[in-house]
Amino acid sequence: MTEAAAGRRREVMVVLPGLMLAMVLAMLDNMIVGTAMPRIVGELGGLTYLSWVVTAYVLGTTVSTPIWGKIGDLYGRKTIFIISILIFMAGSVLCGMAGSAMFGGPEGGMAELIAFRAVQGLGAGGLMVNVMAIIGDLVPPRERGQYQGITAGVMSLAMIAGPLVGGFITDHLDWRWAFYVNLPVGAIALALIIAKLHLPPVNRTNVRIDWAGAALLSISITAMVLITTWGGNDYAWNSWQILGLGALALLTLAVFILVERRTVEPIMPLQLFRNRNFTLISIIGFLLGFAMFGAINFLPLFQQLVQGATATNSGLLMLPMMGAAMVVSIFVGRAITSTGKYKIYPVIGGFGMVAGMWLLSTMDVATPAWETGLYIAVLGLGMGFLMQTTMLIAQNSVEQRDLGVASSTSTFFRSIGGSFGVSLFGAVFNNHLLAELTTRFGGSAAGNMAGNGARMDPAAVAQLPAQVRTGLLESLAVSISGVFSWAIAFAVVVPVLAVFVKEIPLRGASPSDEKAATPAAG
């Protein structure tokens, strides 16, 4: 290790705990809430709105991510990072108060929770992108692999700890602590960031934020997510509501492209997509988010309702996936730093993800917990090869001055993929479940069991008559495995696209030296 590299390592390791804690906030929250969702639905009602609790968070994250990345490039990342943490913590407090006496009780509690999750998502959009961009500010691409391997390892640990903490909270405390637990973690992260993070000042004058582009992109994204959420479920695909949303999405997207071409500091610079690697890795990130985050949202539901696991045990059953992802991520990060080679990893990861989704699609009501654990371990292997490699390739495709917007754009495509995936797979799940229940119990009973007011938690299911309980569990198992079957169609495209990624040498100069450098064309 050179003296310069050793100095950078010391600098990064001083601030890394604060960065990791901030990232853990977003990761931990998603996993805790996922584990607690059956209990939340049991108290607030609204099984068919389950996916919206996740969709609102992901949508808030998605629409804000490009803005966070761009204003970080323009005004400096430290202050922007701190603001995003504060917004996330405020959203956490509000989520914990949803449906409480202060807001009028459980009636309407699910709508409140969905709205407050959107606020929480707005803050979360600045957490992940700023962590990645700050590491990019401090470390050149060639050395970034080992730190991003550490980052992926911490993410995996958070994803392991999340279900365990969520399970403990759900089994022993009020589900509201699934949100309040973010407050002490956020406070520690804030203290470390304020005290330890020192970045060079940003010397850009006469800068303007592209608010028009941000608004147009947000409207277009929201319209597209509503289409995937409501289409074929609340409204027919050829209804005026769905067709109108489609027209709105296309119109605002077209105007957005025109605005981005003319503005001086676009939220999403379109010239980035002239680079082949950046375009390919953005599409791969979209598909990764779509297939993975959209589908694994239903694993805790399968484990707790179909397999009868407690919330805590449901968290433990996620360990094989997260453990596999953590080990592989650290290995891949070190290998990239050592060799400078990265192309093979997203290819392997894509095949691993396809295999995991296919195995999960074979589950039924008789599938034992150990078998589910084996299947999700395979999925975890694929995640480990993909998670940080996609970000590294995206950052290596741009100049240093655009590092933030490249990080945010890469995160954006993964987030929008997750948003679409959660929405679409939520609609798939609801339709399959209603069809299965109708076949077994008739239309009226099916509507009551899967309707908006359904309170389907493990305790309520256990009290059902044996014949009804068996039919319900079989319907749930078929519906959830059907979600994973749909996910295969999107996951299979990932390794195909990854084959066309060009192996461009990772730059080894320090970030300050890179400001005048132009990356090789992809």
Q: Is 334 exposed, middle or buried (0-12, 13-18, 19+ CB in 10 A)?
A: middle
- 282, 283, 285, 287: CA torsion to nearest 10: 170
- More confident of the two residues 216 and 135: 216
- Alpha carbons within 13 A on the beta-carbon side of 290: 24
User: How much of the chain exceeds pLDDT 90, in percent?
Assistant: 13
Residue 96: its pLDDT value, please?
Answer: 84
CA dist., res. 154 & res. 139, Å (int): 18
**Residue 514's pLDDT band (boundaries 50, 70, 90)?**
very low
CA dist., res. 68 & res. 76, Å (int): 11
pLDDT tens string 315-342: 677 778 877 887 888 788 778 878 878 8
CA dist., res. 229 & res. 59, Å (int): 12
| Span 386-409, average pLDDT | 77
**Residue 100's pLDDT band (boundaries 50, 70, 90)?**
low
- More confident of the two residues 518 and 12: 12
The ranges assigned to domains in the chain are: 3-197+211-509
Is the confidence at residue 224, as pLDDT, over 70? yes
- Closest of 177, 183, 147, 205 to residue 506, by C-alpha: 147
Residue 5: its pLDDT value, please?
Answer: 55
CA dist., res. 261 & res. 211, Å (int): 14
Q: Across the chain, what does the average pLDDT equal? A: 79
Is the confidence at residue 77, as pLDDT, over 60? yes
Residue 389: its pLDDT value, please?
Answer: 83
Lowest mean pLDDT among 126-135, 149-158, 507-516: 507-516
**Residue 251's pLDDT band (boundaries 50, 70, 90)?**
very high
Residue 522: its pLDDT value, please?
Answer: 40
Classify 508 as helix, strand or coil: coil
CA dist., res. 252 & res. 271, Å (int): 19
Is the confidence at residue 413, as pLDDT, over 90? no
CA dist., res. 374 & res. 478, Å (int): 19
Contact 494, 128 (CB under 8 A): no
Is the confidence at residue 459, as pLDDT, over 50? yes
| Span 51-70, average pLDDT | 80
Is the confidence at residue 90, as pLDDT, over 90? yes
User: How much of the chain exceeds pLDDT 70, in percent?
Assistant: 80
Crossing angle of the two packed helices 211-230 and 403-441, in degrees rounded to 10: 20
CA dist., res. 218 & res. 301, Å (int): 30
Contact 264, 208 (CB under 8 A): yes
Lowest mean pLDDT among 36-40, 114-118, 179-183, 518-522: 518-522
User: Tokens standing for 15?
Assistant: 């601030």
User: Tokens standing for 13?
Assistant: 């390791």
Contact 306, 476 (CB under 8 A): yes
- Closest of 262, 491, 256 to residue 361, by C-alpha: 491
Lowest mean pLDDT among 41-45, 63-67, 357-361: 41-45
Output the pTM of the full model. 0.73
Is the confidence at residue 352, as pLDDT, over 90? yes
CA dist., res. 98 & res. 116, Å (int): 8
Beta strands in 280-399 (DSSP E): none
CA dist., res. 153 & res. 147, Å (int): 10
Residue 517: its pLDDT value, please?
Answer: 42
CA dist., res. 295 & res. 470, Å (int): 24
| Most confident region among 44-53, 59-68, 435-444, 496-505 by mean pLDDT | 496-505
**Residue 511's pLDDT band (boundaries 50, 70, 90)?**
very low
| Span 52-57, average pLDDT | 79
Lowest mean pLDDT among 135-149, 206-220, 268-282: 135-149
**Residue 120's pLDDT band (boundaries 50, 70, 90)?**
very high
Residue 496: its pLDDT value, please?
Answer: 93
Residue 503: its pLDDT value, please?
Answer: 81
Please provide the CATH number assigned to the domain covering 3-197+211-509: 1.20.1250.20
Is the confidence at residue 4, as pLDDT, over 60? no
DSSP structural state of residue 289: I
Residue 457: its pLDDT value, please?
Answer: 65
Classify 24 as helix, strand or coil: helix
Contact 423, 56 (CB under 8 A): no
Q: Which position has the token pair 């399968």?
A: 302
| Span 194-219, average pLDDT | 78
Residue 356: its pLDDT value, please?
Answer: 92
Classify 225 as helix, strand or coil: helix
**Residue 493's pLDDT band (boundaries 50, 70, 90)?**
very high
Contact 258, 388 (CB under 8 A): no
Residue 515: its pLDDT value, please?
Answer: 44
| Most confident region among 24-28, 105-109, 237-241, 268-272 by mean pLDDT | 237-241
Residue 350: its pLDDT value, please?
Answer: 92
CA dist., res. 5 & res. 317, Å (int): 40
Residue 403: its pLDDT value, please?
Answer: 72
**259: how many CB neighbours lie within 10 A of its CB?**
18
For residue 231, which phi and psi values (nearest 5 degrees)?
A: -60, 125
CA dist., res. 147 & res. 300, Å (int): 30
User: Tokens standing for 40?
Assistant: 């939340």
Is the confidence at residue 512, as pLDDT, over 50? no
